[in-house]
Amino acid sequence: MITVSVRYFASLREAIGPGEQIELPPGTTLAGLRDRLIARGGPHAEALGRQRVVRAALNQAVADESTPLPPGAEVAFFPPVTGG
């Protein structure tokens, strides 16, 4: 198993909280992590559900959901940002 730190920002932080540590099987991708969190139900499913647009960053760089997670990674989930 590997351990990753997950942080939530903006509306996701309000719904879920600031973050958590999660143990995952080696080779888990960002998509796999998101699906595992959604499977918890409750606020995780509502905030991270596939019907919502959610961005992800791996070690402070925006990453594709197919990216595998290395041990000790920091993953951030956040909603898309609009400016004006």
Main-chain phi, psi angles of 13, to 5 degrees: -65, -40
Across residues 41-45, what is the average pLDDT? Answer: 96
Q: Judging by beta carbons within 10 Å of its beta carbon (0-12, 13-18, 19+), is residue 15 exposed, middle or buried? A: middle
Instruction: Count the residues in the chain.
Output: 84
Give counts: helices (H), strands (E), the chain.
Answer: 3, 5
pLDDT for 21 beyond 90: yes
Domains of the chain: 2-78 (3.10.20.30)
pLDDT (tens digit, 9 = 90+) per residue, 69-78? Answer: 999 999 999 9
Residue 69 DSSP class: P
